[in-house]
């Protein structure tokens, strides 16, 4: 739609109209539009943007489009853009660029900024330090409300967030927090130390981003300060960055629960070869494990030979056990991720799953029994064997499905690996063993 | 820890110390602490809170604790608390309370507030209207920056967010948006109409909360205005409420993907009976579907009787097909949920999955073939049958696993139902059919 309008204007060389059209759009919409163009046209449209919007639009572009633009820009143009960007965005961009582009970016930043960028790049991946930015508003406690407001007025353009101001001492140690709301409603000569809240919630640069998300959510914060070992303020993390973290962590869990190594890039951008590699290791492990299930069948070959009909119930029993276990493991994995339950609740979880599985097992076994004896010509003793097996399989599956994620958590592993595929493989072997044991017991008179 | 300190102070009747201890804690920490006490002690500690903190603490309590407190409070106390709360929090509380408690709450609110609450309660569940609040900052375009700031100063206490102000006309139609940052940095007599941004991004009261989350994320907003059919401003939604929406939607997808009907309450609070009901319907559907897989085995009984060893590979083939399909469906379901892909990308997705599955299938089949011929005494023609089946099964599973979620989306269904359990059941039947067809072809000389 929008792309066609611009394409038409480009073909007609109506550059002034393009500029006018882009000015009426939101920054995000302009970047969405630019992402649809390639090389020369992209650069041409980007150059038409007003100077103050160019940097903002740039920060929303795909990394390959950012790369194209940096490569064709002059040093001055590069500097103009990177001067306007926040450090957390610069770091995100640098991490995606090839080394020659990174060199060009760093060459065109001031020595001081380069120092900050290098510091931020050194924080471990997924740490608070790696997602923070350093453009925060700091005040001193002996300032008055009005002098604080004048300071804010002067630097407002360069700050990621001016609505939450942090009070620091001479050695940059965090002493308090005060909101712009409090500053504008207080008397002009009120000292900051009377206004500030000394009970500041903060995180350490090395804290995991998952902890950052938990704290922001728990305390309903918009901004969270990040400090070092000496409680010196180093940066801030804003809630919109945490929203990305929450989605990223959920995505990781989704993938891990399906036996896929975490994927960093979006689906369409990851190559088929990388994706194949991310999926194959678990498939190999699970394939080999499943051969043990096969051995159980071989072991009871004589039982199957005597009562051939038994084999036709194998898929139903294996699938139902797997599904029942996957339900419990999913529920528990998600409850652990959201902090609704913890390892100390193990007993409560097992008790609840036992009750649930008991109800579910009885209903399923009853339906199954009625279906077999009314719709098929299966002998009564086989129908009983299958139904009794079903009861045990469902109960055991649900309890194991709920227990393994808690065990993983207790051993500091990610509970998400104890999901569907792994649980199913474990339960398959168990299901068959239970089935053949009952069959040997209940059908001993017909087994040769 | 904290609970023990308070318990000790209660036992020693040191009420002044309790008050002092609570005053040093964050609001959220106080509510966490109160949630650990029951009835009479809870009420006693709650009454010790300073008036201006009581309402905030109250809004963070569990609903059963909120209920206990309202039941024992006087009408005046109830009014004091509910006057301080934001409407979106009041509505959340009311939705959890029994009718006698709701009556007491509504009796102690002004006629005007009661009207607002009733309006908010009427919006459909999960709509923008149901999660918005009505305490927003509105300005008129002919105001000056300084008169706007004085207005903000006067009402700051009652507003959910004063950092983003909305400009409305006489009939409350949304005309623009201006930030407090812009107001404090502009000249005192600058009219708002010169400062405001007319390109306001907003949602409709009936829009789904998922759409709200998408827009907040896409445009990096902290606040989003909600309007009616005539573009009249009715409320705002803040990013912290949207964070809950994002988590809730992810949880729903996790549950649906494991064949569980959406669970509203947290794990430990939902009864075993409710949980059993939420899980049983899919288990029944899948159990009955799996019997069709069983029929395929019965149909090829003679093949199994002739080459008994074939049955021992059934679990491995079924599991690998199911796992391969579950990987693809999970990847595609999540990519659809995040908006990384859409139905228009169907062809790209299928092409990519074909490539991935081809690589994965060849590797798995090779490993499997080598394992069978080196570690077991399986005849070569059986090993070939199993390995060729594996190649076809993996490729077909991945393509079906990726295709079904996109089909669901195209038919306006939730792609998340096309996940592991359902895919596995469909693929099991397919896997066995392919297996027995190949067996009949490759092993015709040994089959009686």
Task: Kindly state whether residues B286 and B204 are assigned to the same domain.
Answer: no
CA nearest B226: which of B201, B200, B202? B202
Question: Domain boundary residue among A76, A104, A122?
Answer: A122
**Residue B316 near chain A (CB below 8 Å):** yes
CA nearest B86: which of B125, B46, B130, B55? B55
Asked if ipTM goes beyond 0.85, one says no
User: Beta strand B203-204 with B223-227: parallel, antiparallel or unpaired?
Assistant: parallel
At B446 the pLDDT is 65
Domain contains A257: no
Residues 125-184 of A with CB under 8 A from B: 149, 152-153, 156, 162-163, 180-181, 184
**Residue B247 near chain A (CB below 8 Å):** yes
Number of domains in chain B: 3
The reply to whether residue B286 touches residue A421, judged by beta carbons under 8 angstroms, is: no
Instruction: List C-alpha distances in Å: A228 to A172, A176, A205, B45.
Output: 10, 16, 6, 36
Domain contains B251: no
CA angle B255, B261, B267 (to 5 degrees): 65
Residues 386-425 of B with CB under 8 A from A: 394, 420-421, 424-425
Output the CA torsion A438→A443→A445→A446 (10° steps): -130
Least CB–CB distance from B311: residue in A240, A284, A304: A304
At B292 the pLDDT is 81
The reply to whether residue A242 touches residue B243, judged by beta carbons under 8 angstroms, is: yes
Question: Domain boundary residue among B197, B222, B239?
Answer: B239
Domain contains A249: no
**Residue B201 near chain A (CB below 8 Å):** yes
Provide the mean pLDDT of chain B. Answer: 84
What does the alpha-carbon distance between residue A17 and residue B270 come to, in Å, rounded to a whole number? 60
Least CB–CB distance from A272: residue in B329, B359, B432: B359
**Residue B431 near chain A (CB below 8 Å):** no
Task: Kindly state whether residues B273 and B418 are assigned to the same domain.
Answer: yes
Place of tokens 């159980």: A296
Q: What is the span of the domain harbouring residue A139?
A: 131-239
Domain contains A391: yes
To which H or E segment does residue A76 belong?
A: helix A75-84
Q: Which of B280-289, B364-373, B388-397 has the lowest mean pLDDT?
A: B280-289
Query: Most A CBs within 10 Å: which of B22, B56, B223, B254, as the mutation test of the A interface?
Result: B254
> Residue A353 is part of a domain; what is its CATH number?
1.10.357.20
DSSP 3-state percent helix, strand, coil across chain A (nearest 5): 70, 10, 20
Task: Kindly state whether residues B308 and B398 are assigned to the same domain.
Answer: yes
What does the alpha-carbon distance between residue A144 and residue A195 come to, in Å, rounded to a whole number? 10
Q: What is the mean pLDDT of residues B226-247?
A: 88
Question: Domain boundary residue among A92, A122, A152?
Answer: A122
> What tens digit of pLDDT does each residue of B287-341 get?
777 778 878 887 887 777 777 778 888 888 888 888 888 888 888 888 887 777 8
Residue B392 pLDDT grade (very low, low, confident, very high; cuts 50, 70, 90): very high
Taking the CA atoms of A101, A104, A109 and A114 in sequence, report the sign of the dihedral they define.
Answer: positive
> What tens digit of pLDDT does each residue of B267-285 get?
777 777 777 777 777 777 7
Task: Kindly state whether residues A168 and A232 are assigned to the same domain.
Answer: yes
> What tens digit of pLDDT does each residue of B180-193 get?
888 888 888 889 88
Task: Kindly state whether residues B408 and B286 are assigned to the same domain.
Answer: yes
What pLDDT tens digit does each residue of chain A (448 aa) get? 777 888 888 888 888 888 888 888 888 888 888 888 887 888 888 888 887 788 888 888 888 888 888 888 888 888 888 888 888 888 888 888 888 888 888 888 888 888 888 888 888 888 888 888 888 888 898 898 888 888 888 877 777 777 889 999 988 999 999 988 888 888 888 898 888 888 899 999 999 988 898 899 888 888 999 998 889 998 899 888 888 888 888 877 777 776 677 766 777 777 777 777 777 777 777 777 777 877 888 788 777 777 777 888 888 888 888 888 888 888 888 888 777 788 888 888 888 888 888 888 888 888 888 888 888 777 888 888 889 999 999 899 889 988 888 888 888 877 777 776 778 888 888 888 888 888 888 777 666 5
Place of tokens 């199994």: B304
Does B120 or B266 have the greater pLDDT score?
A: B120
Give the chain A residue whose CA is nearest to the CA of B364. A284
Q: What is the mean pLDDT of residues B385-410?
A: 88
> What tens digit of pLDDT does each residue of A308-340 get?
778 888 888 888 888 888 888 888 888 887 777
Task: Kindly state whether residues B141 and B167 are assigned to the same domain.
Answer: yes
The reply to whether residue B314 touches residue A294, judged by beta carbons under 8 angstroms, is: yes
Domain contains A254: no
């Amino acid at each position: 739609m929008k792309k066609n309008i611009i394409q038409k204007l480009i073909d007609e060389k109506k550059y002034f109209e393009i500029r006018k059209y882009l000015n009426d759009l939101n920054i995000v919409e302009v970047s969405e539009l630019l992402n649809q163009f390639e090389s020369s046209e992209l650069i041409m449209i980007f150059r038409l943007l007003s100077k103050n919007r160019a940097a903002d639009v740039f920060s929303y572009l795909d990394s390959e489009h950012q790369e194209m633009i940096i490569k064709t820009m002059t040093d001055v143009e590069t500097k103009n853009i990177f001067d306007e960007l926040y450090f957390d965005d610069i770091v995100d961009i640098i991490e995606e660029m090839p080394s020659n582009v990174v060199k060009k970016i760093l060459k065109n930043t001031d020595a001081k900024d380069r120092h900050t960028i290098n510091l931020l790049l050194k924080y471990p991946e997924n740490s608070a330090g790696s997602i923070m930015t350093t453009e925060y508003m700091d005040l001193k406690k002996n300032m008055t409300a009005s002098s604080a407001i004048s300071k804010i007025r002067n630097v407002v353009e360069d700050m990621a967030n001016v609505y939450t101001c942090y009070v620091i001492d001479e050695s940059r140690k965090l002493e308090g927090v005060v909101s712009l709301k409090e500053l504008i409603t207080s008397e002009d000569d009120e000292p900051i130390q009377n206004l500030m809240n000394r009970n500041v919630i903060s995180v350490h640069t090395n804290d995991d981003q998952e902890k950052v998300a938990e704290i922001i959510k728990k305390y309903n914060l918009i901004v969270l300060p990040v400090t070092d070992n000496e409680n010196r303020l180093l940066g801030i993390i804003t809630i919109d960055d945490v929203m990305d973290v929450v989605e990223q962590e959920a995505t990781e869990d989704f993938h891990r629960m399906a036996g896929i190594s975490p994927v960093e890039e979006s689906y369409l951008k990851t190559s088929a070869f990388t994706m194949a590699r991310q999926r194959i290791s678990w498939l190999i492990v699970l394939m080999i494990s499943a051969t043990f299930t096969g051995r159980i069948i071989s072991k009871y070959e004589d039982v199957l030979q005597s009562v051939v009909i038994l084999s036709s119930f194998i898929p139903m029993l294996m699938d139902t056990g797997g599904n029942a276990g996957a339900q419990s493991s999913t529920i528990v994995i998600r409850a652990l991720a959201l902090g609704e339950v913890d390892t100390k609740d193990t007993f409560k979880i097992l008790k609840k799953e036992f009750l649930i599985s008991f109800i579910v097992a009885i209903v399923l076994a009853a339906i199954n029994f009625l279906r077999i004896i009314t719709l098929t010509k299966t002998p009564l003793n086989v129908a009983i064997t299958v139904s009794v097996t079903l009861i045990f399989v469902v109960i055991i599956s649900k309890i194991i499905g709920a227990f393994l994620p808690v065990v993983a958590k207790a051993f500091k592993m990610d509970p998400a690996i104890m999901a569907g595929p792994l649980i199913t493989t474990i339960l398959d072997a168990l299901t068959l063993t239970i089935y053949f044991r009952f069959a040997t017991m209940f059908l001993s008179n017909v087994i040769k």
